[in-house]
A and B are shown apart, each in its own frame.
Chain A
Amino acid sequence: MSITYRWGMAIDLDRCTGCEACVVACHAENNLPVSTPEQAAKGRTAHWIRVDRYYEGEFPDVKVKYMPVLCQHCDNAPCEPVCPVHATYHNPEGLNVQVYNRCVGTFYCANNCPYTVRYFNWFEPEWPAPLDLQHNPDVAVRMTGVMEKCTFCIQRIKRAKEGAARDGRRLADGDVNPACVQSCPAEAMVFGDLNDPESRVSRLARNGRATRLLEELGTKPKVFYLQKVK
Chain B
Amino acid sequence: MAPAPELLPYQRIREDLFRPLSRVSRRYVLATVCAFVVGAAGLAAWAYQLRRGMGVTGLQRPVFWGFYIVDFVFWIGISHAGTLISAILRLTDAAWRKPVTRAAEAITVFALMIGGMFPIIHLGRAWLFFWLLPYPNSRLLWPNFRSPLLWDLTAIVTYVTGSIIYLYLPLIPDVAQLAEHNTPWRRKLYRALSLGWTGSDREWHALERAMKLMACIILAVAVSVHTVVAWDFAMAVAPMWHSTIFGPYFVAGAIFSGIAALLIVMSLLRKVLHLETYLTPHHFRNLGKLLLLMSLLWLYFTMSENLTVWYGNEPKEMAVFGARTRAQYAPYFWIMVVLNFVIPFVLLGIRRLRTIANTTIAAVCVVVGMWLERFVIVVPTLANPRLPAAASSYAPTWVEIAITAATFAAMAMLYMIFAKLFPIIAVWEFKPHPPEDE
Asked if A52 and B389 sit within 8 Å, CB to CB, the answer is yes
Q: List 14 A-B contacts (CB under 8 A).
A: A43-B62, A53-B389, A82-B236, A84-B149, A85-B141, A103-B124, A104-B128, A107-B64, A108-B148, A111-B236, A112-B237, A123-B53, A124-B53, A143-B125
Contacts of B122 in A (CB 8 A): 106-107
Taken together as a complex, chains A and B put the C-alpha atoms of A145 and B51 apart, in Å, by 11
Tell whether A144 is near chain B: CB-to-CB under 8 Å: yes
Of B53, B62, B124, B147, the residue contacting A116 (CB under 8 A) is: B62
Closest B residue to A43 by beta carbon equals: B60
Contact (A122, B389) CB under 8 Å given A105-B125, A111-B236: no
Of A44, A104, A111, A115, the residue contacting B382 (CB under 8 A) is: A111
Contacts of B52 in A (CB 8 A): 123
Tell whether A147 is near chain B: CB-to-CB under 8 Å: yes
Taken together as a complex, chains A and B put the C-alpha atoms of A104 and B392 apart, in Å, by 24
Contact (A102, B65) CB under 8 Å given A121-B124, A122-B55: no
Closest B residue to A88 by beta carbon equals: B144
Contacts of A112 in B (CB 8 A): 236-238
Contact (A111, B60) CB under 8 Å given A81-B147, A84-B147, A147-B124: no
Asked if B62 and A78 sit within 8 Å, CB to CB, the answer is no
Contact digits for B127-171, partner A, Cβ 8 Å, 1 yes 0 no: 011011000000101011011111001000000000000000000
Contacts of B149 in A (CB 8 A): 82, 84, 106, 108
Interface residues of A, dominant DSSP: loop
The B-contacting residues of A in range 38-64, CB under 8 angstroms, are 39, 42-45, 52-54
Of A83, A84, A103, A217, the residue contacting B125 (CB under 8 A) is: A103
Contacts of B389 in A (CB 8 A): 52-54, 67, 69
How far in angstroms is the closest Cβ of chain B from A37?
14
Contacts of B153 in A (CB 8 A): 84
Tell whether A158 is near chain B: CB-to-CB under 8 Å: no
Closest 5 pairs (CB-CB, A-B): A105-B124, A122-B55, A145-B124, A52-B389, A107-B64
Asked if A122 and B387 sit within 8 Å, CB to CB, the answer is no
Taken together as a complex, chains A and B put the C-alpha atoms of A106 and B119 apart, in Å, by 8
Tell whether A110 is near chain B: CB-to-CB under 8 Å: yes
Contacts of B128 in A (CB 8 A): 104
Asked if B144 and A81 sit within 8 Å, CB to CB, the answer is yes
Contacts of A144 in B (CB 8 A): 53-54, 124-125
Asked if A104 and B131 sit within 8 Å, CB to CB, the answer is yes
Contacts of A85 in B (CB 8 A): 131-132, 141, 143-144
Asked if B124 and A110 sit within 8 Å, CB to CB, the answer is no
Taken together as a complex, chains A and B put the C-alpha atoms of A102 and B131 apart, in Å, by 9
Contacts of A203 in B (CB 8 A): none
Contacts of A214 in B (CB 8 A): 386-387
The A-contacting residues of B in range 39-54, CB under 8 angstroms, are 52-54
Taken together as a complex, chains A and B put the C-alpha atoms of A145 and B62 apart, in Å, by 16
Asked if B60 and A42 sit within 8 Å, CB to CB, the answer is yes
Tell whether A5 is near chain B: CB-to-CB under 8 Å: no
How far in angstroms is the closest Cβ of chain A from B192?
37
Contacts of B61 in A (CB 8 A): 43-45, 110, 116, 118-120
Tell whether A176 is near chain B: CB-to-CB under 8 Å: no
Asked if B147 and A114 sit within 8 Å, CB to CB, the answer is no
Contact digits for B52-72, partner A, Cβ 8 Å, 1 yes 0 no: 111100011110110000000
Asked if B55 and A44 sit within 8 Å, CB to CB, the answer is yes
Taken together as a complex, chains A and B put the C-alpha atoms of A115 and B232 apart, in Å, by 19
Tell whether B235 is near chain A: CB-to-CB under 8 Å: yes
Taken together as a complex, chains A and B put the C-alpha atoms of A21 and B395 apart, in Å, by 32
Of A45, A84, A110, A119, the residue contacting B132 (CB under 8 A) is: A84
The B-contacting residues of A in range 123-148, CB under 8 angstroms, are 123-124, 143-147
Tell whether B390 is near chain A: CB-to-CB under 8 Å: yes
Contact (A120, B64) CB under 8 Å given A78-B237, A111-B382, A112-B237: yes
Tell whether B380 is near chain A: CB-to-CB under 8 Å: no
Of B123, B131, B146, the residue contacting A81 (CB under 8 A) is: B146
The A-contacting residues of B in range 286-343, CB under 8 angstroms, are none
Tell whether B385 is near chain A: CB-to-CB under 8 Å: yes
Asked if B124 and A217 sit within 8 Å, CB to CB, the answer is no
Tell whether A15 is near chain B: CB-to-CB under 8 Å: no
Tell whether A86 is near chain B: CB-to-CB under 8 Å: yes
Asked if A146 and B386 sit within 8 Å, CB to CB, the answer is no
Closest A residue to B394 by beta carbon equals: A43
Asked if B132 and A104 sit within 8 Å, CB to CB, the answer is yes
Of A45, A52, A102, A123, the residue contacting B387 (CB under 8 A) is: A52
Closest A residue to B60 by beta carbon equals: A43
